[in-house]
């Protein structure tokens, strides 16, 4: 693609992770947003922040929180090593708006990682691979193959999709800021389910990268137990 120029890794590009913790976690059946639930004695969100802070000594974080949980988030991170690299903003009506709020805090060109706070099991290794590919190719979207058959609803009917061609999309969805920021200067659409779909809407193809089985989204109470087992065994 003529409009994507490789960024030179040796120039040490700025790294900013926009961690989206705007959700209200209604599926958990509790009042606490799921990113604040405890896993091995600490909030899910803290596990996520630690992995990003560890990944690169110059990784900066923009934490997007629900407005009425902003104080809680600030308090929670007050003793975290590396907390001086975290800045805060509040979430919007949808994920799109929350990411847009986070991106507005950027002040210079950067590699931007947009990550779900509730995917707290990602590894440093995945973050680094995303960084390197995004420098070279402009974007890095982690995906894993499907182990189940997948169908597409079409009105009352449904049809099987070719499983070998299906990919399950994860985060951090990683982009060079000169690709991501212009893409977010667009009105919201309901088919914007992730950052890749926003960038593609602008006509720019995204590049996939191998994700991680363990990098699951915590959406159900059982996922907390799964996550605890992963932390126990890894």
Residues forming contacts to a copy of itself in the complex (CB under 8 A) are 143, 146-154, 157-163, 165-170, 191, 193-194, 196-197, 200, 205-206, 208, 213-214, 217, 219-220, 222, 225-226, 229-230, 233
Those residues with Cβ within 8 angstroms of residue 149's Cβ, 6 or more apart along the chain or in another chain: 160, 163
Q: How far is the CB of 14 from a copy of itself (least distance, A)?
A: 27
Query: Is the distance from CB of 221 to CB of 38 less than 8 angstroms?
Result: no
- Closer residue to a copy of itself (CB): 11 or 165: 165
Query: Is the distance from CB of 129 to CB of 212 less than 8 angstroms?
Result: no
How far is residue 2 from each of residues 5, 6, 183, measured CA to CA in Å?
7, 11, 17
Query: Is the distance from CB of 41 to CB of 47 less than 8 angstroms?
Result: no
- Closer residue to a copy of itself (CB): 210 or 220: 220
- Closer residue to a copy of itself (CB): 182 or 205: 205
Query: Is the distance from CB of 172 to CB of 38 less than 8 angstroms?
Result: no
Q: How far is the CB of 219 from a copy of itself (least distance, A)?
A: 5
- Closer residue to a copy of itself (CB): 41 or 162: 162
Q: How far is the CB of 167 from a copy of itself (least distance, A)?
A: 5
């Amino acid at each position: 693609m003529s409009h994507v120029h490789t960024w030179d890794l040796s120039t040490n590009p700025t790294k900013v992770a926009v961690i989206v913790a705007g959700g209200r976690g209604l599926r958990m059946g509790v009042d606490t947003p799921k990113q604040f639930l405890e896993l091995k004695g600490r909030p899910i969100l803290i596990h996520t922040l630690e992995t990003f802070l560890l990944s690169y000594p110059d990784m900066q974080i923009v934490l997007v929180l629900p407005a009425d949980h902003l104080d809680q988030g600030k308090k929670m991170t007050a003793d975290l090593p590396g907390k001086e690299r975290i800045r805060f903003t509040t979430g919007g009506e949808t994920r799109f708006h929350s990411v847009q709020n986070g991106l507005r805090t950027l002040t210079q060109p950067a590699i931007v990682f947009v990550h779900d706070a509730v995917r707290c099991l990602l590894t440093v290794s995945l973050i680094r691979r995303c960084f390197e590919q995004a420098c070279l190719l402009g974007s890095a979207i982690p995906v894993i193959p499907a182990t189940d058959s997948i169908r597409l609803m079409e009105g009352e009917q449904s049809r099987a999709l070719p499983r070998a061609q299906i990919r399950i999309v994860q985060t951090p969805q990683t982009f060079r800021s000169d690709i991501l920021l212009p893409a977010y200067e667009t009105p919201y659409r309901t088919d914007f389910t992730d950052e890749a779909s926003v960038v593609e809407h602008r006509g720019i193809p995204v590049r996939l990268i191998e994700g991680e089985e363990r990098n699951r989204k915590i959406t159900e109470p059982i996922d907390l137990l799964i996550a605890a087992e992963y932390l126990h065994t890894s």
